[in-house]
Amino acid sequence: MRIRFAFVVLYFAILTIVPSCTASQPPATPAAPSTSGTPSGAATLQVHGNLAQAMRGILFPASNVIFASQDKNPDEVKPAADPSTAINPLESSFGKWQAVWNAGIGLAESANLLSIPGRKCQNGRDVPINNPDWPMLVQGLRDAGMTVYKAAQSKNQDNIVMAADSMTTACAACHDKYREKPNLADRCM
Ligand code: HEC
């Protein structure tokens, strides 16, 4: 009797769970900008934040790890009391120089997030991915991220100072064109 009951429960569980897993998921928030088309079988790209949020959440913290490594040799950073919960990546389980090369990878990967369709800027304009200079500016960020990665792997402070400089140049090249405007409304165009 018990077994039979368990079977019935399982049967209904399969009936209800399987379709909900296979049915295409609606976007997390209805107001979120549209998703991009991807080849069938590939995971669908989804946009969750505006450009400023992506910058504040991903590029800003990564770049600060790189800036910090110019002033203090990452090898000299003391691990946190509990490195596995450290807020400062340099003091974490993946700390010291590794934190710097991870930040470089983070920036290079973030270039992909600046290239996908559907994201808005704070002022409601589309991120101008179709402007002719946008891919070039994004590539500058990607290259700078990989330059940081290589510099951090060399564990050489002079190399990281130069790499941080190329990162600053890449950030500024895009900000000069698309962010530094007296009016928020004039960004991203
Ligand atoms: C390809 C263009 C581009 C690149 C490269 C880029 N940014 Fe941005 N960034 C922008 C734009 C445009 C905005 C304004 C976004 C908005 O208003 O929604 C912005 C906004 C920001 C903000 C938010 C500022 C605020 O007003 O709150 C931060 C922080 C930031 N960027 C950091 C960086 C850092 C650090 C880098 C380099 C590692 C970088 N960005 C590279 C285009 C870029």
Q: What domains lie within the chain, and their CATH numbers? A: 51-186 (1.20.120)
Å from CA of 174 to ligand 1 middle: 8
C-beta 68 within 6 A of ligand 1 = no
Per-residue pLDDT of the chain (189 residues; tens, 9 = 90+): 444 444 433 343 443 444 343 334 444 443 444 444 455 666 789 999 999 999 999 999 999 999 999 999 999 999 999 999 999 999 999 999 999 999 999 999 999 999 999 999 999 999 999 999 999 999 999 999 999 999 999 999 999 999 999 999 999 999 999 999 999 999 999
C-beta 188 within 6 A of ligand 1 = yes
Å from CA of 71 to ligand 1 middle: 23
Q: Atom 6 in ligand 1: which residue has the minimum CA distance?
A: 171
Half-sphere exposure of 152 (CA within 13 A, CB side): 28
C-beta 59 within 6 A of ligand 1 = yes
Cα separation of 164 and 170, whole Å? 10
Cα separation of 128 and 32, whole Å? 17
Structure tokens at 132: 């002719």
- What one-letter code names the amino acid at 31? A
